[in-house]
Amino acid sequence: MKYIDEFRDGKLARGLAQAIRAEVKPGRWYNFMEFCGGHTHAISRYGVEGLLPENVRMIHGPGCPVCVLPIGRVDSAIELALERGVTLCTYGDVMRVPASGPLTLMKAKARGADVRMVYSTLDALRIAQGEPQREVVFFAIGFETTTPPTAVAIKQAQALGLTNFSVFCNHVLTPAAISNILESPEVRKIGTVPLDGFVGPAHVSTVIGSQPYEFFAEEYEKPVVIAGFEPLDVMQAILMLVRQVNEGRAEVENEFTRAVTPEGNEKAKAVVAEVFELRRSFEWRGLGEVPYSALRIKETFRNFDAEARFGIGYRSVADAKGCECGAILRGVKRPEDCKLFGTVCTPEDPIGSCMVSSEGACAAHYTYGRFRGGAARRTG
Amino acid sequence: MCLAIPVQVVELLPGDQALVDAGGVRKEVSLALVEGVGVGDYVILHVGYALHKLDEQEAKRTLELFAQIGEAAPSTAGSEALRATNG
Amino acid sequence: MGGTVKPGYVRPLDVKRGRVDLSHGSGGRAMAQLIEHLFVRAFDNEWLRQGNDGASLPALPGRLVMATDSHVVSPLFFPGGDIGCLSVHGTINDVAMVGAQPLYLSASFILEEGFPLGDLQRIVESMARAARDANVPIVTGDTKVVEQGKGDGVFITTTGLGVVPDTVCVAGDRAQPGDAIIVSGPIGDHGVAIMSVRENLSFTTSIASDTAALHGLVAAIVQSAPGIHCLRDPTRGGLATTLNEIASQSGVGMVLAEEAIPVRREVAAACELLGLDPLYVANEGKLVCVCAAEDADTVLTALRAHPLGREAALIGRVVEDVHCFVRMETVFGGTRMVDWLSGEQLPRIC
């Protein structure tokens, strides 16, 4: 496939791997966090870590909107479907997220709830139009990439005059999450987990642009390189980060020039600003309360806000005992450090957020990297 | 995080929609979030919406950069043997 | 008294507009008519024509092999096939994967009240065609009807009988370090074909299910290399699951080369679109063969000479491994694990 296969080329990979090896300073440790779950997936799926020198360590960040979805919100969605009789439309990723019970949307479906997996908000709208007698709720999740499609759907529902369509909004924001990590005590304190730089998300950046990351580079003096989605992009970004660290720079660089501009997608940003506004605070699974990190539907579109329509309250539900997701999401611990990993907590029966989605650090490691277990602990 | 892939626009459809092609598979998607997209253009597709036009010049430039940075290296013995068998 | 009862007159089955109702399963005249006009007429062989409850079969030479499969696929009709031919191919293949020649099939149907007779006829005729082409008759069967809402249109269970010669010993626990791993053709076709017609995931593609009876292909392999170790068809869970099963049963590991695994361009594209991995997508007309390294060329030649195996490829080797991991050298150069499938692979946005 064009613009995909070329960016997975093995020969070019070897070339970049050699370049990285040639430029890392021996004895110096490089710790980079790839924020985006898609990057975690690419790194695992293509075995990128095996091509990097030993002193470059990739830390898997919390950029997986499924993983950070708090249990209480999933409980509410399940309740809507199971007890309030709505037709709940959801992306496939959320179907097996374990909530209280432990119930999942998939299990709720087995109990008779009308849960329907959709590929796009357009499908949910179509269902609402086609079944006017049913209350249709779209379970919206995702970072800035996935938010504009929800905004368009709400506007379209308004234009169509739909009275049976609403959105349960759980959209979250990337910069706020990055701040949270950088502010966490383990990172701030010198000597625990030094983070030398970030691999910035690919598709979030096509929407928000490269400009928002300049704040992090300046405030926290950490380089950010926005990388495309394919493994070659990630390797090139790592090379650019190594160079910045070696040269003592802390800038925002863009590797994904074919789809990311400094200002991003103005049209998409505008439609999001029209429909959504910031929540003062939002609980992230594993990270706790993060200020100004999530969106809610504006008053003008109240008719399409499932929280208003169904009076959904919020209950904070704690993670399971022994679950180390919080520490893993911040890069303080590794999946193997968690007592539940691989025993009680597996992709088949996930306990915590890091195992839930195939991009969570624990799921990725279990599925793709378990065979490397027992490798010498790398520190920085 | 967001699973998105580059696809090519093959036909513009009413209602701000388009028919796109990805490796021979076709799908109807929304162009509501982009502007100035025409037939033949590549766009980044996510959950049924085109999010951004793909700059083909930049793509070419990026690949050339990779090639420049790297050097040709021999492939691993295993894969080479298999490739030979499969012709 | 008006009108006379016309002798021998039976109102014909209204296939065009009729639907299955509870009387079709009650054992009475309606059921007999359904069986006679739909099933027996289509499957047409000496055993069914006898009209007995069971089929009396001649003594069979060699070790007996029996396999059974239930089919609940939805949608019932998809590009390249339907639940009918799928049920015939599926069981023929299960028998063939033990190195056996399939000889007879049975077919039982659970029909949902209200199911259109027209659709049923289409399915039955498809089964008949598949059985005829494979030269494996459906010699006995059963029909039941359940109330509306208690079935997904139709469920079909097929059971197959076959014989395997003594010189052949094919089993899942026979893979040995050093063995070659061969796949008979491109993977993922069936799963993608099904997804392409499932609602809410609609995309257009020319990919059709690869559903096929593989016993001819198996016979070709067994004839040229009777000492092969394992055969299996990677159905649900895909190639990855099948390889993990064999690795586990045999107590070995495997190393695959991603670039050697054949995948059609459109299948790869559809999987990219939906966030699926072709290694885990179902196949219904492919097989995996594990054989001694020295037999690899012979097996490949035999496969490629057969219409169903033209794109056969050597994709990996069996290695020693106490963990029984299946690993893969990616096209990119790194190595990753190809683990068991956990849960059902669902399309994703992340």
CB contact at 8 A, C86 and C212:
no
Least confident of A254-268, A356-370, B62-76: B62-76
Q: What is the CATH number of the domain that holds C241?
A: 3.90.650.10
pLDDT of A372 reads 64
| B5 in contact with chain A, both atoms CB, cutoff 8 A | yes
- Cα–Cα distance measured from residue B3 to residue A341, given in angstroms and rounded to the nearest whole number: 26
| Structural domain ending residue among the three candidates C135, C164, C193 | C164
Closest-CA distance of chain B to residue C15, Å: 36
| C30 in contact with chain B, both atoms CB, cutoff 8 A | no
pLDDT of A332 reads 76
Domain coverage including residue C188: 180-337
Q: Are residues C85 and C134 in the same domain?
A: yes
pLDDT of C173 reads 95
Residue B51 is assigned to a structural domain of this protein: yes
Residue B20 is assigned to a structural domain of this protein: yes
A34, closest residue in chain B (CA to CA) = B1
Q: Tokens 């097989």 belong to which residue? A: C287
Q: Is C274 within 8 Å of A8 when comparing Cβ atoms?
A: no
Q: Is A12 within 8 Å of B67 when comparing Cβ atoms?
A: yes
Q: Which class for A380: exposed (0-12), middle (13-18), buried (19 or more C-beta within 10 A)?
A: middle
Residue C14 is assigned to a structural domain of this protein: no
Q: Is C204 within 8 Å of B3 when comparing Cβ atoms?
A: no
pLDDT of B75 reads 40
Q: Name which residue leads in pLDDT, A263 or A35.
A: A263
Q: Tokens 């053709």 belong to which residue? A: C185
ipTM over 0.90: no
B22, closest residue in chain C (CA to CA) = C269
Residue C346 is assigned to a structural domain of this protein: no
A225-234 tens-digit pLDDT = 999 999 999 9
The three-class DSSP label of residue A371 is helix
Q: Is A370 within 8 Å of C339 when comparing Cβ atoms?
A: yes
Q: Which of B3, B6, B34 sits opposite A38 (nearest CB)?
A: B3
| C2 in contact with chain A, both atoms CB, cutoff 8 A | no
CB contact at 8 A, C258 and C329:
yes
The pTM of this model reads 0.89
The DSSP code for A252 is E
Q: Are residues C220 and C97 in the same domain?
A: no
pLDDT of A377 reads 32
Residues in B closer than 8 angstroms to C269, CB to CB, are 22-25
Q: Which of A4, A13, A371 sits opposite C325 (nearest CB)?
A: A371
- Cα–Cα distance measured from residue B23 to residue C21, given in angstroms and rounded to the nearest whole number: 46
Length of chain A: 380
Q: Is B71 within 8 Å of A18 when comparing Cβ atoms?
A: yes
B44, closest residue in chain C (CA to CA) = C273
Number of structural domains (chain B) is 1
Residue B30 pLDDT level (bands cut at 50, 70, 90) = very high
- Cα–Cα distance measured from residue A303 to residue B70, given in angstroms and rounded to the nearest whole number: 56
Q: Are residues C202 and C303 in the same domain?
A: yes
- φ/ψ region of C51 (left if φ > 0, alpha if ψ in -120 to 50, else beta) reads left
| B84 in contact with chain A, both atoms CB, cutoff 8 A | no
Q: Which amino acid is at C203?
A: F
- Cα–Cα distance measured from residue C75 to residue C153, given in angstroms and rounded to the nearest whole number: 10
Q: What is the CATH number of the domain that holds C75?
A: 3.30.1330.10
pLDDT of A187 reads 60
Count chain A–chain C contacts defined by CB atoms under 8 A: 101
CB under 8 Å to C217, separation ≥6 — which residues? C96, C184, C287, C303, C306, C308, C309
Q: How far, in Å, are A52, A254, C10, C150 from residue A58 at the CA level? A: 10, 19, 77, 51
Q: What is the pairing mode between strands A87-90 and A136-142?
A: parallel
A120, closest residue in chain B (CA to CA) = B47
pLDDT of C78 reads 93
Q: Which of C272, C346, C348 sits opposite A4 (nearest CB)?
A: C272
Q: Is B24 within 8 Å of C296 when comparing Cβ atoms?
A: no
Distance between start and end Cα atoms, chain C: 76
Q: Are residues C144 and C211 in the same domain?
A: no
Q: Strand order of the sheet with strand C326-329?
A: C230-232, C288-291, C180-183, C313-319, C253-257, C326-329, C335-337
Residue B87: pLDDT over 80: no
Residue A188: pLDDT over 80: no
pLDDT of B86 reads 54
Return the CATH number of the domain spanning residue range A71-173+264-310: 3.40.50.11740
Residue A189 pLDDT level (bands cut at 50, 70, 90) = low
Closest-CA distance of chain C to residue B87, Å: 9
A265-283 tens-digit pLDDT = 999 999 999 999 999 999 8
Q: Name which residue leads in pLDDT, A372 or C29.
A: C29
Residue C4 is assigned to a structural domain of this protein: no
Q: Is C273 within 8 Å of B76 when comparing Cβ atoms?
A: no
B46, closest residue in chain C (CA to CA) = C349
Residues in C closer than 8 angstroms to A37, CB to CB, are 350
Neighbours of chain C (3+ CB pairs under 8 A): A, B
Count chain B–chain C contacts defined by CB atoms under 8 A: 65
Other beta carbons less than 10 A from residue A72's beta carbon: 18
Q: Are residues C154 and C192 in the same domain?
A: no
Half-sphere CA count of A289, side-chain side, radius 13 A = 7
- Cα–Cα distance measured from residue A31 to residue C328, given in angstroms and rounded to the nearest whole number: 27
Residue B76 is assigned to a structural domain of this protein: no
pLDDT of A371 reads 67
| C348 in contact with chain B, both atoms CB, cutoff 8 A | yes
CB contact at 8 A, A207 and A268:
yes
Residue B38: pLDDT over 50: yes
Residue A6: pLDDT over 80: yes
A140-168 tens-digit pLDDT = 999 999 999 999 999 999 999 999 999 99
Domain coverage including residue B60: 5-71
**Residue numbers of chain C with a pLDDT score lower than 50:** 1
Residue C349 is assigned to a structural domain of this protein: no
SS3 helix, strand, coil % of chain B, rounded to 5?
30, 35, 35
Residue B42 is assigned to a structural domain of this protein: yes
Residues A243, A245, A251, A255, CA torsion sign: positive
Closest-CA distance of chain B to residue C167, Å: 28
Residue C5 is assigned to a structural domain of this protein: no
| Structural domain ending residue among the three candidates C94, C129, C164 | C164
Q: Which of A75-84, A182-191, A356-365, B75-84 has the highest mean pLDDT?
A: A75-84
Residue B86 is assigned to a structural domain of this protein: no
Q: Looking at residues A321-333, what average pLDDT do you find? A: 81
Number of structural domains (chain C) is 2
Residues in B closer than 8 angstroms to C259, CB to CB, are 79, 82-83
Q: Looking at residues A205-213, what average pLDDT do you find? A: 95
**What's CA A248's distance to the chain center, in Å?**
29
Phi, psi of C103 (to 5 degrees): -120, -40
Helix axes C296-304, C215-224, angle to 10 degrees: 140
- Cα–Cα distance measured from residue C349 to residue A288, given in angstroms and rounded to the nearest whole number: 24
Q: For residue A258, give the nearest of C184, B62, C318 by alpha carbon.
A: B62
Least confident of A88-97, A222-231, A320-329, A369-378: A369-378
Q: Are residues C314 and C207 in the same domain?
A: yes
CB contact at 8 A, A226 and A256:
yes
Q: Are residues C192 and C148 in the same domain?
A: no
Residues in B closer than 8 angstroms to A238, CB to CB, are none
Least confident of A211-215, A235-239, B76-80, C218-222: B76-80
pLDDT of B1 reads 45
Neighbours of chain A (3+ CB pairs under 8 A): B, C
- Cα–Cα distance measured from residue A31 to residue A21, given in angstroms and rounded to the nearest whole number: 15
Residue C306 is assigned to a structural domain of this protein: yes
Residue C3 is assigned to a structural domain of this protein: no
| A322 in contact with chain C, both atoms CB, cutoff 8 A | no
| B10 in contact with chain A, both atoms CB, cutoff 8 A | no
Q: Where are the strands (E) in C76-147, listed by range?
A: 77-78, 81-82, 101-112, 138-146
**Triad A46, A50, A52: Cα angle to 5°:** 110
Q: Which of B2, B48, B55 sits opposite A203 (nearest CB)?
A: B2
Residues A135, A136, A139, A144, CA torsion sign: negative
| B38 in contact with chain A, both atoms CB, cutoff 8 A | no
